[in-house]
Amino acid sequence: MKTIFEYRDYREYMRDFYESRKRCSAFTWREFAKLSGFSSSGFLKLVCDGKTRLSKVAVEKILPAMNLSGPHADYFRLMVVFCDSPSSDKRRLAFERMLSIAGEHHVEFLEAKSFAYFSSWANPALRELAPIMAGATPLELGHALIPPISASEARESLELQESLGLLKKDENGNYKQTSKGVSSSREVVSATVVNMQKQYAGLAVDALDNFSRDERHISGMTMGLDRRAYERIALELDAFRKRVASIVSEVESYDCVYRLNLQLFPLSKKKGD
């Protein structure tokens, strides 16, 4: 069985633990549950099948049953938060801590670099900016962003994107975009993209004060909708985003990097709630 620090999903770890014990003895789900102090013999199988979750109390009960203590127990607790928490911030922080503990035990996550890429708004911005600033230093690139970032932050971003294959240098040392995208597990992406979207939303607020009307277009409307109307508008927004992507694909030489946010969200509870 792999070390716990190689896992991302606590359910997968629990199932592997069960299968490992079962191969060596007549271990059953009933015995696993009894060893953990649960009255329901099928509870842990339901957890592993994704039909229910572990509460904080349940986590503490199952840890000694799997002989987990110290950093191993801490890592399992973090996996539960990462997999089950409804809060994107808590999932992100849990994954960051998982990365740290795994690194301390000489285990490197394949998703670590993609996690880092999605952790900051500046990474996609620099990917667009670097190719049009030939010969620019990390300091110049960082200061060309709004708001600016430091030379060290820009350098780290560029090195990260080179390692991911998102940017590459030509024979003159200038950056070129590749067609390669960032791939990662759905769980890792969801834990970080929401945070990036929050960052972009904050930049949109700042843009109201930082740019004149002829440099930014920010508008909106407040409306009453039912579910059918919401879904129709969501489809229109998706179609609009695709039309914008088509326009962008026709740009042969750009001189500035923009961000477009499409936002549709409730301002009230539903009637009856």
* Sequence ranges of the domains in the chain: 4-108
Q: What distance, in Å, lies between the first and last C-alpha atoms of the chain?
A: 48
pLDDT in tens, 59-102: 999 999 999 999 999 999 999 999 999 888 899 899 999 999 99
According to the model, what pLDDT value does residue 184 have?
62
DSSP state of 68: -
Cα distances (Å, whole numbers) of residue 84 to 50, 64, 193, 206: 10, 21, 17, 33
- pLDDT tens digit string along 8-61? 999 999 999 999 999 888 899 999 999 999 999 899 999 999 999 999 999 999
Q: Determine the Cα angle at 16 with ends 14 and 21, to 5°.
A: 95
Averaged pLDDT of the chain: 92
Beta-carbon-side half-sphere exposure of residue 259 (alpha carbons within 13 Å):
23
What pLDDT is stored for residue 183 in this prediction? 62
Alpha helices in 165-263 (DSSP H): 186-210, 227-249
pLDDT digits (tens, 9 = 90+) for 120-146: 999 999 999 999 999 999 999 999 999
pTM over 0.85: no
Q: What is the pLDDT of residue 25?
A: 86
Averaged pLDDT for residues 197-206: 93
